[in-house]
Structure 1
Amino acid sequence: MTLKNNLLVELFVEELPPKALRKLGEAFAGVLRDQLVAQGLADAGSVLTAYASPRRLAAHLTQVGTQAPDRALSQKLMPVSVALDASGQPTPALLKKLAALGADASAVPGLRRAMDGKAEALFFESTAKGATLAEGLQKALAESIAKLPIPKVMSYQLESGCALPGWSSVSFVRPAHGLVALHGDTVVPVEALGLKAGRETHGHRFEALHDPIVLRDANSYAVQLDEEGAVIPGFEARRNEIARQLAEAALSVGAGAQPIQDDALLDEVTALVERPNVLVCQFEPQFLDVPQECLILTMKANQKYFPLLDAAGRLTHKFLVVSNIRPEDASAVIGGNERVVRPRLADAKFFFDQDRKKSLASRVEALGKVVYHNKLGTQGERVERVMRIAHAIGEQLGAATANLTLAPHAVQAAQLAKADLVTDMVGEFPELQGIMGRYYALHDGLPHDVADAVEDHYKPRFAGDALPRGPVGIVVALADKMETLVGMFGIGNLPTGDRDPFALRRHALGVIRMLIERHLPLDLRALIAQAHAAFGAPRAGDHPLSDATDALEAFFYDRLAGSLREQGASAQEVDAVLAPLPQRLADVPKLLAAVRAFAELPEAPALAAANKRIGNILKKSPEADAHVSALLLHEPAEKALHAAMQEIVPLADAQFDAGDYTASLQTLAALREPVDAFFDGVMVNAEQSDLRLNRLGLLMLLHRAMNRVAQLERLAT
């Protein structure tokens, strides 16, 4: 009888990479659990707890057995016709197969017969002995180590005296120094990374009560590490404790103070400390003259500090430090961190002051020496192309909205948008590109909409990001993204699988969002053509740019289809709306709404099916022409359909042209009865060619009218 108890496995290692710690902990515990379940040593009801701290990966699993139950096995041998001869005796082939399984001819009467496809086959029934916990855990441990998402593997020599036969070095994420495997209070004799399992682990380097810590049993792990080792081993527990202390410390500073919200920073700090202790520090207020984005970034990126904001979201001169020690007098720790951050802030102030000594416009020339892409030239050449595209888009949108300054402001912003790339601040902190450009543009006295566009032309930078805040920013962002897309498609640098080094999918979605959410009256193919024209004729020695309009247009519709499906639209609805390749993407939401409303009508299924039938007929009739002679309409049903179309189609077309797509489709729904009657009473492929062509022409006109909003046949089931 197998005994069940809780299991604890820990690998004690040198400091793990902080940005990978959370995933390493989850993967180590998850694979260990899955392997034990697969072997029958644990079941779906076993509760897993993952632990991960800077120096350990561990897993606690409830209800793990000492031995897995035996398993019945059924192995197909071969068809009966091959296994037995005409007299029913085993053939040499069967006896050879049985011998390979450790059986002989005496097993033949016990073989099970069963149908396998169309033929009867023989099956060998046996029982596999269940794995012991030591065997199963050894396999599970090896698998969990092998499948760790290790960012970079280290090779190291085993410590003297602990090497196993044949071992000289080990490859792992960091050197491992201890292995614990406890089933209840019993050590499970397993090995990993040249280490033998025991019950000893280690706590905090400086604040543990004693070293090593001898674990009583699997369940005492977290409690003993906390009480004796001054370590919170659980990643989530440690993260929650840091968040609690951050909020508490901010409250002590003053009402309204709040630490900056940054989940990635919180995760990284959680992976750096074992016993968090949040302390309040400060810097000289004069540094607040520097843009707060610069100060926040240097504190977060370089020092892993949490800047404090006031109630209005403005940076204060105080910040929070998550220390890994808890001294009675923390003044030395606070003073040390304040001394460390001061040079960083001084550097930021120096960069800011130096950068403002030159205008953005004076830096544009330097972009001619910055390579953008070896086939697409320099950033300076790229800026010229973006300016031309921005001018074309600005002229079009400016005319539509009577905004006479839109085009010139967009061209000016496009010229300056990349100039901050050659500033000292952005050279030190590339994440600030655009942000610093806006500050420098305002310092140069440029209009606010131009300065905003310099920052906003990168937006949207990720899914859910805000769009540029004004029309000038929209124009420059569109121009910048279209230049990138047309250029990269033109040189064949397309995204493949998971690889998209130039973020072309993100750029396409950004263009789609701006066109739709800002209701821009721009046609997609015209937009691509404007961007392509901006590249001009290639100069001597330049790489020729291919016209990838069709491929890029398809790329846009593919991105749009995926986005619409993610928002809840059905595949049928999306296919119907995008099949006609609507050029004005701003209309797509209205087209989609119209199709949904049409699908609810009782006439919809019949009309969708008729549309599909018409489409199939026309595909087989290349001689058809969209022309109808009333003199050749003989049958009552075709006359009735023609008359109905004469009345209904002009009204539906007018509604379509006015942008009322829902009303247009609902108006066309009135054609259901005459369409049904036509197919019931009229032979389309008449023997007389003039009658046949006239009827095909009638169907072509009907098909064209019915599919202006969407390709309705895509709705047919």
Structure 2
Amino acid sequence: MTTQNLLVELFVEELPPKALKKLGDSFAATLAEQLRAMGLATAESVVTAYASPRRLAAHITHVLLKAADKAVQQKLMPVAVGLDPAGNPTQALIKKLSALGADVSDPAQAVAALKRAPDGKAEALFYDSLVTGATLDTGLQKALDEALSKLPIPKVMSYQLETDCELPGWSSVNFVRPAHGLVALHGSTVVPVKALGLKAGNSTKGHRFEAKKDVVVLKDADSYVAALLNDGAVIASFAERRAEIVRQLTAAATKLGGGVRAIEDEALLDEVTALVERPNVLVCEFEKEFLAVPQECLILTMKANQKYFPLLDAAGKLTNKFLVVSNISPSDASAVIGGNERVVRPRLADAKFFFDQDRKKTLASRVEGLGKVVYHNKLGTQGERVERVRAIAKAIAQQLGDAKLVAAADTAARLAKTDLLTDMVGEFPELQGIMGGYYARHDGLGDEVANAIEDHYKPRFAGDELPRNTVGLTVALADKLETLVGMFGIGNLPTGDKDPFALRRHALGVIRMLVETECPIGLDLLLRVTADQFSAIAEFQRERIFGALFDFIYERLRGYFKEDRASQTESGIKQSFAYSSQEIEAVLALKPSMLSDIEGRLFAVMQFASLPEAPALAAANKRISNILKKEQEVDAHVSEVLLKEEAEKKLYAALKDVVPQANKQFEAGDYTASLKTLAALRAPVDAFFDGVMVNAEEMDLRLNRQGLLKSLHDAMNRVADLSRLAA
């Protein structure tokens, strides 16, 4: 069958910029998916999504005018139900056939057309029919309806339609924005579909201000992009428009010289791409006096409020120039540039005012005010929370350093939340912590404390940097642990994709800080120290909370260690590798409290798994585990007098020879060497299982052999549960 390309476009008022790309992708994908399901699109069909501020469109190649007819076999009912003992159709069968549109005027002939075939327990009747393929008219209508209903619309609005009745606007429609046009072209033929009160045609509108023609007529489906660009001054493709913005941003920054570059922000780039139909990048500037304000404040207000791209110099410092992505391209852009400069000036002036006002009060003077800010109705005020964080931070600092570290950590923890009461953070919550660092330096507290205040929220997201110093690490750990234990204590656990208190992120932050800084404090100690600060958590609840929180953190650990790791060869070349799920489970099965040890344990297990002795020892470990599980309690004690068989004597001798050395290596933290040393046990272990009956009839022999296996099991599973490596 011959095919032609299909174009569908919905022309609307300005769509929500942050949702535009998802809307465009969803619209095109659902259309294509539905057409394929109906047999109207082929396996060779290529789908291209288009999305601009005022349109959603899809171009689909190789679309049929009519889908092929399809033979369908339908199971009706068991033979015993459909036919009486004489072989005549029952009323149930006739009724079923009638519902399917079969000719039942001659019951005998209708039955003869049926097929019999076994279906599990009994023989059943099957009906063969030919289903007529869908036409594009009806199929596209269904696909379009489905595509619109499945759009990930952030918020629906209701608007009225002009109708042919005497009262205009009597009908109303619910959609993301009012729709004003619909195009549906199969080749050059209009497909008569409807949507949102609109009938499909072959014309659309271009740029709101710069289109060469008020109405852009499309010759056929394939002329869409060129016609919109030439007659409508619109770049239809989201990706092409984005690439053009990047090109212009780079060119404008390069032209300024001095290593100037536009700030990188993928989310801002996507949002700006969704705001313009034909981008034009212009260079603007503001007064240099505003550069006295912390650059984070200026950058945030320019990006968040104005959608501008600030320019940084070669050293990463903010300049007094910025880039604007305009939606118009006048011959004289001075008015556009001047307008944007006038708009940004009050924003920057506000930031300067907030900064100047905030510095009139010290952070220390704001501490008392935290007692008036509710943190959570079950966990008290921010002031009470700060006291808990202080106590946790001091306990951690005592484990990591001296009295100087304890004092610095206490100061940073006491002041870390005070910037929440400043005007700047009130206006820009994203700057919490950052502004605290600036104000701490202004108060003369020094870089160590100031950096700790700024860093105590880190890591904020996946891949974010960790706190820069030990004081910051201490306060950041205390802050995240306080949140985790407090929220688990009152039952505010994440459910599904809902995690309003970002507990998953907090748990991953704790993991990263403990693992990547090799922090020598056990997780159990950290959780108990934290729980001690919550008087509301009863003693009997703590074990339950610890268990749930341990499982929660270890679940995050599994995901963390499944990510690719990096190692460096002797020649300095970095290589990437990944731990297997078996290796990760082997280590985490022991739930080692010292998270800083886990990486070393995993690497040791990975090295052990590559040894030729590993499969046999892992299988033996699994066998030993199964034997010991059947016994209530086994004492790891061996009496040499009761060793009767030569194989058990040799295994015991090997244990006495190998285990002390392996234990010494384990205690020194050389897990790889410890496991390699234990690999020497393979031969005596194999010989033991080949020649010794563990569950001997004599009870003293049985208990002694179980004790031997328990000694072996304990020795071999200090680094990891090696039975998890068994296939």
TM range, normalised to the smaller chain?
Answer: over 0.9
1:560 is matched by which residue type in structure 2? L
Q: Output the TM-score relative to the length of structure 1.
A: 0.96
Verify: 1:428 aligned to 2:431, yes or no. Answer: no
Aligned to 2:574: none
Q: C-alpha displacement at 1:694, in angstroms?
A: 1.7
Deviations 1:33-61 (A, max 9, x none): 11111111111211222111111111111
Q: C-alpha displacement at 1:162, in angstroms?
A: 8.4
Q: Distance in 2 between matches of 1:545 and 1:360?
A: 35
SS at match of 2:232: coil
Verify: 1:696 aligned to 2:713, yes or no. Answer: no
1:166 and 1:137, CA in 2 relative to 1: closer, same or farther beyond 3 A?
farther
Verify: 1:446 aligned to 2:467, yes or no. Answer: no
Verify: 1:169 aligned to 2:166, yes or no. Answer: no
Q: Distance in 1 between matches of 2:165 and 2:271?
A: 33
Q: Distance in 2 between matches of 1:156 and 1:552?
A: 49
SS at match of 1:177: strand
Aligned to 1:604: 614
Verify: 1:560 aligned to 2:557, yes or no. Answer: yes
Say whether the 8 Å CA contact 1:389–1:479 is kept in structure 2. yes
Say whether the 8 Å CA contact 1:490–1:547 is kept in structure 2. no
Aligned to 1:323: 326
Say whether the 8 Å CA contact 2:163–2:171 is kept in structure 1. no
Q: C-alpha displacement at 1:132, in angstroms?
A: 0.9
Q: Distance in 1 between matches of 2:236 and 2:693?
A: 80
Aligned to 2:353: 350
Aligned to 2:724: 714
Q: Distance in 2 between matches of 1:443 and 1:289?
A: 13
Q: What are the equivalent positions in structure 2 for 1:543-692 lying under 5 Å apart? A: 548-567=545-564, 568-692=578-702
Verify: 1:148 aligned to 2:151, yes or no. Answer: yes
Say whether the 8 Å CA contact 1:11–1:56 is kept in structure 2. yes
Could you tell which deviates more after superposition, 686-695 or 701-710?
A: 686-695
Q: Distance in 1 between matches of 2:257 and 2:612?
A: 64
Q: Distance in 1 between matches of 2:670 and 2:167?
A: 79
1:623 and 1:219, CA in 2 relative to 1: closer, same or farther beyond 3 A?
closer
Q: What are the equivalent positions in structure 2 for 1:474-513 lying under 5 Å apart? A: 474-513=473-512
SS at match of 1:548: helix
Q: C-alpha displacement at 1:231, in angstroms?
A: 1.5
1:444 and 1:545, CA in 2 relative to 1: closer, same or farther beyond 3 A?
farther
Aligned to 1:6: 5
Q: What are the equivalent positions in structure 2 for 1:381-530 lying under 5 Å apart? A: 381-398=384-401, 403-530=402-529
Verify: 1:63 aligned to 2:62, yes or no. Answer: yes
1:545 and 1:706, CA in 2 relative to 1: closer, same or farther beyond 3 A?
closer
1:390 and 1:96, CA in 2 relative to 1: closer, same or farther beyond 3 A?
same
Could you tell which deviates more after superposition, 417-426 or 687-696?
A: 687-696
Aligned to 1:99: 98
Q: Distance in 1 between matches of 2:693 and 2:257?
A: 86
1:557 is matched by which residue type in structure 2? Y
Deviations 1:138-160 (A, max 9, x none): 00100000000000011111123
Verify: 1:250 aligned to 2:253, yes or no. Answer: yes
Say whether the 8 Å CA contact 1:491–1:546 is kept in structure 2. no
Could you tell which deviates more after superposition, 153-162 or 36-45?
A: 153-162
How many residues are treated as equivalent by the alignment? 708
Q: What are the equivalent positions in structure 2 for 1:116-155 lying under 5 Å apart? A: 116-155=119-158
SS at match of 2:61: strand
Say whether the 8 Å CA contact 1:154–1:171 is kept in structure 2. yes
What do you get for the CA RMSD once the two structures are aligned? 1.9
Q: C-alpha displacement at 1:302, in angstroms?
A: 0.7
Q: What are the equivalent positions in structure 2 for 1:268-347 lying under 5 Å apart? A: 268-347=271-350
Say whether the 8 Å CA contact 1:360–1:416 is kept in structure 2. yes
Deviations 1:123-145 (A, max 9, x none): 21111111111111100100000
Deviations 1:147-181 (A, max 9, x none): 00000011111123389999821111011111111
Give structure 2 stretches of 5+ with no counterpart.
565-577
Q: C-alpha displacement at 1:711, in angstroms?
A: 0.6
Q: Distance in 2 between matches of 1:167 and 1:108?
A: 54
1:550 is matched by which residue type in structure 2? G
Give structure 1 stretches of 5+ with no counterpart.
none
1:584 and 1:546, CA in 2 relative to 1: closer, same or farther beyond 3 A?
closer
Aligned to 1:199: 202
Q: Distance in 1 between matches of 2:166 and 2:621?
A: 76
Q: Distance in 1 between matches of 2:543 and 2:691?
A: 53
Say whether the 8 Å CA contact 2:114–2:126 is kept in structure 1. yes
Deviations 1:461-497 (A, max 9, x none): 1111111111111111111111111111111111111
1:578 and 1:546, CA in 2 relative to 1: closer, same or farther beyond 3 A?
closer
Could you tell which deviates more after superposition, 342-351 or 553-562?
A: 553-562
Q: Distance in 2 between matches of 1:337 and 1:601?
A: 67
Deviations 1:569-600 (A, max 9, x none): 22211111111111111111111111112112
Say whether the 8 Å CA contact 1:9–1:180 is kept in structure 2. yes
Q: Distance in 2 between matches of 1:419 and 1:152?
A: 36
Say whether the 8 Å CA contact 2:207–2:233 is kept in structure 1. yes
Q: Output the TM-score relative to the length of structure 2.
A: 0.94
Percent identity among equivalent residues? 70
1:368 is matched by which residue type in structure 2? G
